[in-house]
Amino acid sequence: MAGFPLPTTTLDAAGLRPEQIARLGALIETHIADGRYPGCQIAIARHGKLAHFQTFGEAAAGKKAKDDSLWLLFSNTKVVTAAAMWVLAEQGAFRFVDRVSDHIPEFAQHGKQAITILQVMTHLGGFPRAETPSEVWADHKLMREVVCNYPLEFTPGSRLFYHGATAHWTAAVLIEAVTGRDFRDVIRETVTDRLGLGD
């Protein structure tokens, strides 16, 4: 595996066509001008070398994006959280067939006692529309209470329904339950630091 940051090369040396990358950049600029999204970054690597990196538009309203801008990732954080879950499962902290309540007993409230970790991670848990207010994001005790109090909306496993604001808060509480540590530290150490994204 290549180290981070990746060594750089040119598009030509990487066997990539500069005119195609220029077309991509022009398309992105058009999307930004049309208001489809405020900004973005692209990075193109081949054979372990970074051949192109470019920043476009704004990182936040009225804030020009720079190469080192921090971006709000929204649902992409689910992928990072899921990666941390896989690492913990490989380390034996839990099995995906375990019930969430095996590790967080109070999660069993409101008929949620049989929900498995796999059902939560695959949006089959049955509690997709529960509220997770911003006040819980940094208050771990309150976060656990809110997650455990999610009401059941349908029979777990009976249908796929995107748990946009519930599945991965449940995963965060589970990470803390099985490690005894802040979920953010665990994700940083198991995923983002290893990818060279720790800062």
- Is residue 2 over pLDDT 60? no
In this prediction, residues 12-23 reach a mean pLDDT of 95
In this prediction, residues 7-23 reach a mean pLDDT of 95
- Residue 65, CB-side half-sphere exposure with 13 Å CA sphere: 18
Which of the 8 DSSP states describes residue 182? Answer: -
Percentage of the chain beyond pLDDT 90 is 80
Percentage of the chain beyond pLDDT 70 is 97
In this prediction, residues 64-86 reach a mean pLDDT of 88
Q: Which tops the pLDDT comparison, 138 or 95?
A: 95
Break the chain into its structural domains and give their ranges: 1-72, 76-192
In this prediction, residues 140-166 reach a mean pLDDT of 96
In this prediction, residues 46-50 reach a mean pLDDT of 93
Overall pTM surpassing 0.85 (yes/no): no
Cβ-based neighbours of 1, under 8 Å, separated by 6 or more: none
pLDDT score, position 4: 64
50: left (phi over 0), alpha (psi -120 to 50) or beta: beta
Question: Is there a contact between 78 and 167 (Cβ–Cβ < 8 Å)?
Answer: yes
Instruction: Provide the CATH topology of domain 76-192.
Output: Beta-lactamase (3.40.710)
pLDDT score, position 199: 66
Cβ-based neighbours of 184, under 8 Å, separated by 6 or more: none
Q: Which tops the pLDDT comparison, 165 or 121?
A: 121
